[in-house]
A and B are shown apart, each in its own frame.
Chain A
C-alpha cells in the first residue's frame, strides 16, 4: 500500500476536520469518553489526532491506533456537535488508513473472511467470527477459528446467546405472496436476525403478512458489512455493498425493510456516506437503495398497523431503549407510538433512553470492560423503571443489553419491538 493511498483515506475528510472548533461539547455526549475519561478517547481528541496525521506530526502507530479504537461509532457526538463535525466518518477514515498501513488485525481479518462467505456463515462460524469471542464456546473446535482468537477476549462471566438451529432465511421461500394491490416489501434480514435471533425475523414476517404485504427475502443478500467497517476494512464493505445492491435490485418493490437498526443505518446512511464517497460509480445505486430503506417499526406505522389489534392480552410493563442507529436517523417516536397503542402494554421511560448501550460494533471485543462500564449505566436505568422487559429495535443492542442484565443477575426480559407487536398474531397463526 503506497503512502498516497494511505493519505487518500484521510484527505477525503480533510475539509470536515476544519469544522471542529475544539469547543469540547462532545465531552458531554461521547460514551467512549465516559468510559476512558481521557481526551484521546473523546470526539474532539480524535479529530485533533486526525488533523495531525494529515500534517504529518504523528504516524499511524500503536498510540494512534489505540485512540481511534476507542470509538463506538455511535454518532452521539455528531448529533450534538454545534458545528456538524462527522466524527464517526472521520474515525472510519482513520481506521481505514490504519488498516492499510498496519494490515487488518487477526480478528478483523477473520471477520472479513467470514462475512464475505455465505457458506461459512451458514455453518455458524459467522457467529464465531463476528461476535467472535462472544460466541467462542459455540464455534466448533474444527473450524480453525478457535486457534485464531486469543482467549483473553472471553470474559468468564460473559453471557452468550444461542445460535439458531436453522437460519431464518433457510426456513422461508424467497417470495411470500400477499394480497394484490398491497405493498411489496423487500426484507433485508441481517446476520443477527438470520443466525441468532430468528424470532425477530418471524415476527417481522407475521406482521407484514398481517397487513397483506408481499414479503420478499432476496436470496443473495449478505451481511451489511458494518463489522468490517468498524475495523477499517473498506474493501470488504464495498464488496458486500455491491452484492447487496445486486440482491436488492433483483426485485421490484416499494420498500426495503429492516428490523435491525444497524443494518438500517448501513443501508440508509453509511453506504452512501462512506462507500459512495469512495466509489462514485456506485453512488447513484446506493442512494436509490438508501431512499427506499425503512425501519420495520416506522414502516408498520406508515402502513397503518393498528397495534391494538396485534397486542396480546397478558399485561406487560416495558421500557424502550433507542439504538444509536435509530437515534441518528431520527427514529424514536414511531416505535414508542406503536408500543403505547398495543393493548396490555404499559410504556415507562428510562433515564437516558437514547444513550448508547456500549456495544459499538467491535468496540465490545477490544474494550470489553469499558463496553460493560457504559452498559452498567444502562442496566441501572432499566432496573430503575421496574419494567418487566426492555424493548429495542436492534438485535445488537439486544445482545449487549442481555449480557449486562444477566451479569447483574437481573431477570428483565430483552425483546425486539416487533416481538411485542406480533405477540397476538403469532399466537393466532
Chain B
C-alpha cells in the first residue's frame, strides 16, 4: 500500500487530476485482454517524460513498483499490477510530434493509437506497415514494448523493424535516447532492439522514432480454398520459392472454417479443408502479373476454389472470412485460451497434425488460424471454465502445444509476449544460461526491481 505521503508526492509531480485511487478507477486499470485481474494502489497519468522520470525516481526512493500501461489490450497480462503499486498510463502522451517527409521518419509519443498514426502518415502518401489486429485501439508504446506484429509481417516485418530510436526512462529514473534517425549506426550495444519486446520490464518508452515507407501503389487480394492443410502449407513455400513475397498469407484450418461457416454461412466449398488469404501490393502492373503467377503456382496443390478481388469492396469481402473468425469461435465454447506459437513455414502442417493429436487426447476443441507466411499460428483452445476440470486440462494441453512448436524448431510466442501467462513455461524454451543472461540485464538496469516486477522472467 502506498501511504498518504507518497501519494501527495505523486500528486505533486503530475497534478491531482492525474492520480486516481478510488476502487472504481483501480478496477478499471486492473485488467487487460487476458481476463486476469490485479488491483493497483493508484493509477497515474503523466503528461511528459520528465514527469515519468520523476515518478520512477520516487518509486526507487520509496520502493514501490511501477507498471507501464498503454491501452491494456495485451494478451499475456504484461500491464497488470500484480502485487500492487502504481499503474502508469500513457494515454495523455498521445501526440504525433512530427512526420519528416524528407527522411521518411516520424516521432511519436507512446500513447498514440496505432491506427491514428497510420491514418496521419497515409494522408501524406506514406506507410507504416505493422498492423496488429488490435491496431484500432492498442498504442504504439505497447506495440514497441510487445514488438507487435500482424499479417503484413511476411513482407514488411514487425514493429521492431520500424523502430529507429527511442527515448526511454530507465528503471532508475534517467532518461536516455537509443538509436537515432539514421539508417546506419553501430556505436555501442543496440539498446533499441533490446527495448523492443522488453514488455515494460527495462524502462518506460516515452518517445519513438519510426521508419516510414512510401504507400504502395495498389494491392490485390486473393482467396484460395484447398482440399488439405498440406496443400495450403505447400502453397506458402511454393509462392515464396517462386520469388514472390506477398504482403499477407493468412490461413484458416478446417476447424476454423467449420466455425465460420456454421455461424455466418459464407458458402465456401464443402470439400475445403483450409483457406489461404493472399495479398500482394506494389506497382499496379506488377501485382496483376503476380496474381496470375500465384494462381499458376498453387493451382496444382489441391485448390478447389480461387477468387481474385477486382475492387476494394470485393477485397473487403474476401477479408471478411478472416475477420469473422473471432466472433464465431464462441459458438464452440464460451472461453478461449489464445496462444500464438511460431514454427518454420514448412512445418505448419506438422504442427497442425500434432495439435490435432493433442486435441483428441484431451478431448477439448482446438481451432487454428493465423499468419501462414511467417509460420505464426493462433492456437485457440476452447473450453468452458464453468465446467469442472476444463481449465486444468487446457493448461496441460497448452504446455504440449508449446512443446510441439519447440520440437519443430519454433517458439512459443510470435506476438503476444510472455508477461504473466507464459512465464511458467519459459524454461521450456530458454536454458539456464539464457535466463541468467537476461536476469543479469534486468538486475543491472533495475537494481531495485521496481519496473514491472514479476513479469516475463521466471521468479527466482
Contact = CB atoms under 8 A, between A and B. Distances in A.
A67 B22 CA distance: 11
Interface string B21-41: 011110111011111000000
A418 B64 CA distance: 62
A387 to B, nearest CB: 21
Interface stretch (B130-138, B202-210, B435-443): B130-138
B24 A37 contact: no
B71 interface: yes
A64 B26 CA distance: 12
Contacts of A26: 137
Interface in B357-380: none
Interface string A53-67: 000011000011011
Contact of A49 (B27, B72, B113, B134): B27
B326 interface: yes
B402 to A, nearest CB: 22
Nearest to B33: A23
A24 B137 contact: yes
A393 interface: no
Given A22-B35, A23-B73, A24-B137, A48 B27 contact: yes
B459 to A, nearest CB: 25
B28 A22 contact: no
Interface string A12-31: 00000010011111111000
Nearest to B71: A24
Contact of B35 (A21, A45, A57, A64): A21
A109 to B, nearest CB: 25
A45 B20 CA distance: 14
A22 B32 CA distance: 6
A37 B92 contact: yes
B27 A24 contact: no
A52 interface: yes
A111 B108 CA distance: 47
A83 interface: yes
A155 interface: no
A22 B24 contact: no
Given A28-B113, A28-B137, A82-B327, A64 B24 contact: yes
B71 A22 contact: no
A18 B138 CA distance: 23
Nearest to A45: B28
A28 B20 CA distance: 23
B115 A39 contact: no
Nearest to A39: B28
B137 A25 contact: yes
A64 B25 CA distance: 10
A37 B91 contact: yes
Query: How many residues of B sit at the interface, in one of the four size bands?
Result: 20 to 34
Tell me which of B24, B28, B136, B327 has the highest count of chain A C-beta atoms within 10 A of its own C-beta: B24
Given A24-B72, A24-B137, A82-B327, A40 B33 contact: no
B136 A28 contact: yes
A19 to B, nearest CB: 8
Contacts of B330: 83
Interface in B28-60: 28-29, 31-35, 45
Interface of B is mostly: loop
B323 to A, nearest CB: 9
B27 A52 contact: yes
Given A23-B33, A27-B71, A58 B23 contact: yes
Q: How large is the interface on A (under 10, 10 to 19, 20 to 34, 35 or more residues)?
A: 20 to 34
Interface string A388-404: 00000000000000000
Contacts of A25: 134, 136-137
Contacts of B27: 45, 48-49, 52, 57-58
Given A48-B27, A83-B327, A27 B137 contact: yes
Given A57-B27, A58-B27, A63 B137 contact: no
B135 to A, nearest CB: 9
Interface in B307-347: 326-327, 330, 334
Nearest to A62: B22
Nearest to B386: A18
Interface string A120-162: 0000000000000000000000000000000000000000000
Nearest to B73: A24
Nearest to A83: B330
B29 A22 contact: no
B433 to A, nearest CB: 37
A6 to B, nearest CB: 17
B137 A40 contact: no
A197 to B, nearest CB: 36
A63 B22 contact: yes
Contacts of B28: 38-40, 45, 48-49, 67
Contacts of A67: 24, 28
Contacts of A45: 27-28
A232 to B, nearest CB: 17
A57 B115 CA distance: 36
Contacts of B29: 39
A341 to B, nearest CB: 22
A138 to B, nearest CB: 35
A40 B25 CA distance: 6
B24 A24 contact: no
B138 A24 contact: yes
B71 to A, nearest CB: 5
Contacts of A48: 27-28, 31
A58 B24 contact: yes
9 contacts: A24-B137, A27-B137, A28-B115, A38-B28, A40-B24, A48-B31, A49-B24, A57-B23, A82-B327
The 5 A-B pairs with the shortest beta carbon distances in the complex, nearest first, are A39-B28, A28-B136, A27-B137, A45-B28, A24-B73
